[in-house]
Amino acid sequence: MTPQDASESRWSDLDRPPLNASALRHALVRPGALWTSLDVVQETGSTNSDLTARAKELPEGAVLVAEEQTAGRGRLDRSWSAPARSGLFFSVLLRPGAGVPVDRWGWLPLLTGVAVATGLSRAAGVDTSLKWPNDLLVTVGGEERKAGGILAERAGEDAVVVGIGLNVTLRADELPVPAAGSLLLADAISTDRETLLRAVLRSLEQWYVDWREAGGDPAASRLQETYAAGCATLGRTVRAELPGDRSLTGEAVAVDADGRLVLATEGGGREPVAAGDIVHLRPAAD
């Protein structure tokens, strides 16, 4: 991977200028802040893989951004691809520490979803909803479309790498699948990637620090209620596809204290489903 600062060809593509790493560091990396380093590379396979490989040597708060990922991954190693400079593709290294029990670390991808949605609401003027457990949705032509995703992975005993992929300026003819979307197609008031990245990282810092200071308690940090308020999955009848060709259908009625989706089934019972237990979560009619 190749580090990048203010490239000589910075304005060679006015629609998709490269990120200015020096300006981003100046805005985000400061004494006492969560973010301790920020690097931008022109191309790499996966920012999550790169940060995970270097986790032992890096302090908490390292941020790695790629202009293009050639082997971007989603949950269950599903692929994620987009043209160079068309989105935000980055990962952060977090160390929740002894103050947050490991069994609460599962809230990190949900926390990141809340932080991204909050940041985009302010900087892009776009209402971003959350599909449990890790998808970011925007509205394009009255239809919900997936514009981003989140992937959290353990990096040793004490660290978690959280990756975010967000389509920013993808045009209709560039979408990987018809159900995908982008901030551009959702009529965002700004698609300036530096503005958006600063807003998202500042929002993530605030939510993460508050959650960590609350010992990872999703109720005390208001994370649980905020996630539920922005979760498009709640109130809908869905089918959770499980390993071994099993499935569970019911109305999504809550996200419990462990971050699991609670389904109200036909028999009147309530079944919690953990993100790690599902292969797909689809509308029941599909």
**Percent of the chain predicted with pLDDT > 70:** 92
Q: Which of 204, 219, 211, 227 is nearest to 97 (CA)?
A: 211
For the cut 70, the answer to whether the pLDDT of residue 234 exceeds it is: yes
Residue 13 lies in a domain: no
pLDDT digit string, tens, across residues 130-173: 999 999 999 999 999 999 999 999 999 999 999 999 999 999 99
CATH number for 238: 2.30.30.100
* Residue 57: partners with Cβ closer than 8 Å, 6 or more residues away: none
Is 16 part of any domain? no
Summarize pLDDT for 255-274 with one digit per residue, the tens: 999 999 999 999 889 999 99
CB 178 within 8 A of CB 145: no
**What is the CA 56 to chain-centroid distance, rounded?**
23
Q: What is the pLDDT of residue 148?
A: 96
Domain count of the fold of the chain:
2
Closest CA to 60 of 32, 29, 31, 93: 93
CA 37 to CA 225: how far, in whole Å? 31
Question: Is residue 9 assigned to a domain?
Answer: no
Task: Please indicate, yes or no, if residue 6 is contained in any of the structural domains.
Answer: no
Which of 278, 269, 248, 264 is closest to 132 using CA atoms?
278
**pLDDT tens, residue by residue, 54-90:** 999 999 999 999 999 997 655 545 566 689 999 999 9
Range of the domain at 278: 233-283
d(CA 265, CA 47): 39
pLDDT, one tens digit per residue, over 212-229 is 999 999 999 999 999 999
124 and 237 belong to one structural domain: no
Q: Are 84 and 96 in contact (CB under 8 A)?
A: no
Mark whether 119 and 261 lie in a shared domain. Answer: no
Tell me, yes or no, whether 178 lies in a domain. Answer: yes
- Based on the fold, state whether residues 202 and 251 are members of the same structural domain: no
Q: Do 94 and 213 belong to one domain? A: yes
What's the confidence (pLDDT) of residue 245? 86
192 and 246 together in one domain: no
Whether 117 and 66 map to the same domain: the answer is yes
Same domain? 195 vs 208: yes
What predicted TM-score, i.e. pTM, was given to this entire model?
0.92
Is 139 found in the same domain as 262? no
